[in-house]
Amino acid sequence: MKEILVLTIAGTAVVMDIASMRISNGWILCSLLTGFLYSLSGKGPCFGEFALGALIPAAALGGLFVFRMLGAGDIKLFCTLGGIMGPETIWRCMGVSFLMGAAISLPLLILYGNPAERLRYLQSYIRDYQRTGIRKPYYRTGSALENFHFAVPIFMSVMLYAGGIY
């Protein structure tokens, strides 16, 4: 049951993200409420584990949102999944998601981008922030190749979880 629930939540989020460039807050709220009710049913994690699992992604990934390196919808999706999966498993889910994101982005960067240019961009970004203290979005505006939908690697990670890999 838990596996079907997280697959449905993450799968729907991917479709929303690709279709509209965002994950609906209504979907996140509905999913969070469903996860909460699942925890109350006694089949999911207890309330304490639900709450901790939902808070871990916000605390761990909030800095990436502040610098616009990760979208709020992706973090809220992790929070929803964390409530259902529990605190230990959401750490694994986030780690696998970032590995999947790297597995997607590295070939794209090598084939279509310029790795040296991206490293210079990162260095320049860090240097500008240290010099000015101004937080500006890290990503380039528009549909640049590096601005891929992170909900995809999240969903890939959830598929591995549902398949019993972790």
Residue 45 lies in a domain: yes
C-alpha–C-alpha distance, residues 91 and 70, integer Å: 16
The whole domain housing 39 covers 2-102+150-162
Number of domains in the chain: 1
DSSP 60-108: HHHHHHHTTSS-HHHHHHHHHHHHHH-HHHHHHHHHHHHHHHHHHHHHH
In tens digits, what is the pLDDT along the chain, a chain of 166 residues?
899 999 999 999 999 999 998 999 999 999 999 999 999 998 888 999 999 999 999 999 999 998 878 999 999 999 999 999 999 999 999 999 999 999 998 888 888 777 788 788 888 988 988 899 888 877 655 555 556 799 999 999 999 999 999 9
